Amino acid sequence: MFILGIIIGYLICGIVILICNSLNIDEDIKEIILGWWLIPVIIPINKIIKRKKGE
């Protein structure tokens, strides 16, 4: 389930990049969009890494 979430997250990011490139959206806007998509993916990964290091 966790791995599936990561895969979906990367697919969404890829789609966003393609849309941004096709619409010639500025790099700043693309970074903001990707940032919002990546935050929910990165935070759980960090929590899991910290938990494994703590054990």
1-55 tens-digit pLDDT: 678 877 887 787 778 777 767 777 677 776 777 777 677 766 676 777 777 776 5
Quick one: 11 exposed, middle or buried, by C-beta within 10 A (0-12, 13-18, 19+)?
A: exposed
Domain boundaries, the chain: 2-54
pLDDT of amino acid 12: 79
pLDDT at 7: 80
- pTM score of the predicted model: 0.39
Are the CB atoms for 5 and 41 separated by under 8 Å? yes
* pLDDT given for residue 53 in this prediction: 74
